Structure 1
């Protein structure tokens, strides 16, 4: 991503709350903003708890005609949605043509993550997605530490975009807003931190 611009349109994704003990669905919400200032749109879909459908749902939502030409960057709240419904960031980048950044507040425990994934159906596919996501990198975002994986964007540009898209917290604003909206829809009131 050459010369990251201040006012690009970014979509951030997060999932809604769910019960680990109950299989079923939760909501996936995408919020489109212009950098960190203006809300331009919201998209949503249902995803399966511990399923393998989040990648195709993100691709579908980003490629919808209304927003496809406008969105220039995709930011995910980690690669894990609805439990272990893992987003393949390389596939999302390939099928949308947009750079992808998956970001989290806490450093992931790779071994623990792989062990948990290995207990689920289709564990080989899940492990493949984890490996394809690549190395987890550390970023200093205005004095706060974030961890990220990316596809289709150099690390330096990813860090610049993490800084340019944050407003009230270390987490990029579209991801923070997606979290608030998703939890509000599922629980009737927003809660927690993205």
Structure 2
């Protein structure tokens, strides 16, 4: 129950941020630059709040959220000075790409750990959709990512074997993907993905 409340607070905070920009500027900005770093912070808070023994699934969870946070252009702009960022733009883009690749691989490994823990018929659906999500992320097919994401989330939440902390984190990752996809559909892919 603690995990669900923490994730709900994270989603409500993101929604309030989007609504506050709508009231101020007349634009509803849902996926913003802190999404990637926010997933990492929520994962840390979930581990602390649940007081779980750190196992392979928890280490993998921290790794994929950390790699995703470091791959964020927004976080890189905070770390590096503006003149360094402009001068070393190509290096930063390749740095971001390598960390994004690390995120995709660790995220897929985490999905596999969750699937192999499941003893129900949904295991194979989770594996198939995790493979489809990895293919979409690797080939930059963001438009097609929504279908395997929904299917993966449904098969994960229908399973009775999963840990509530990992289900909550999967739900938050699904929320980030779906809200980014919806915003990219409305504002344009480059306008949204360029800021993440």
Q: TM-score, normalised by structure 1?
A: 0.29
* Rg larger for: 2
